[in-house]
Amino acid sequence: KYSTTLKQAIELYNKKKYIEAKLEFLKVAKEESSDFLVTEAILYLGKIALRSDSELFFDAKNYLDYVIMSGNSRQKEQAYFELANKYRLLENDKESISYYQKCLKLFPEDTYCLMNLASLYLKLEKLNEAEQTYYKLIKASENAKMPLKKVIGINTAYIGLAKINLRKGDIK
């Protein structure tokens, strides 16, 4: 269960009020006795640092590395996913792929992670890896509980597979 302060901080984060949220997350990280709540606050501090123009990537990575070392599976998966996305934006494809793969080791049916990894493989012309990942995305999307996730995942996978077939010359 989340503390009142952590709930308020998450609300502020979701409203993109990052400065106010950061202050609340720092309060949780300093005052809470629960390792779970402290790690959750640090996870969000890492997310805020990644989205900030004034904070360094180094700071974000330190927060998220703490989560990877101390968090539960869900927290670790989120930290991996955040880092994978940031490395992708920085065009460090090797690191991005590595973090997406770590994310998928924890949650093999994470549709967002599968979508991002498959599209990265496609961008890099790693067509076999992209194709395999799109097929995993179809299976994961079929099992998704949220209807929108199911539709987005399946549509993305079939569009990606069509692009692969076009590049291979299998479709004219």
* Nearest-angstrom CA–CA distance, 22 and 50: 12
Residue 1 has pLDDT above 80, yes or no: no
Mean pLDDT of 67-85: 97
> Over 90: is that where the pLDDT of 3 sits?
no
Q: Kindly state the tokens that stand for 8.
A: 């308020």
pTM of the predicted structure, to 2 decimals: 0.90
Q: Of all residues in the chain, what percent carry a pLDDT higher than 70?
A: 99
Direct distance between the N- and C-terminal alpha carbons of the chain, in angstroms, rounded to an integer: 55
Q: What is the mean pLDDT of residues 66-74?
A: 96
d(CA 169, CA 164): 9
Confidence band of 172 (pLDDT split at 50, 70, 90): low
